[in-house]
Amino acid sequence: MKDLSIRLRSLDQVNRFIRVVDRLDYRVALISDNSKVDGKALLGILSLDLTKPLSLRLDKAYKDPKGLEELKEFIV
């Protein structure tokens, strides 16, 4: 499991993020304050406070360097 800090500043960026994580074959979660949502679910992501950085939790990310490379634009 790997945790990263990310920012999603616009709806367009949220949509790009979802397209990237949908290609991953493992679970992705986003955490903001006390809320944890499926990182592949648009409505779940939009329910979070996007004005703050989010914690991105990736299962098995350490085995997928290509997936981490694709997420680079969102990492703060």
Does pTM top 0.85 for this prediction? yes
Residue 51's pLDDT band (cuts 50, 70, 90): very high
Domain 2-74: state its class.
alpha beta
Question: Residue 20: what residue type?
Answer: V
For residue 35, what pLDDT is reported? 95
The structural domains of the chain, with segments of one domain joined by +, span 2-74
- Contacting residues for 13 by C-beta, under 8 A, at least 6 apart: 74
Residue 26 clears pLDDT 80, i.e. is over it? yes
3-state secondary structure of 60: coil
**d(C-alpha 8, C-alpha 26), whole Å:** 20
CA distances from 15 to 2, 37, 62 (A): 22, 15, 24
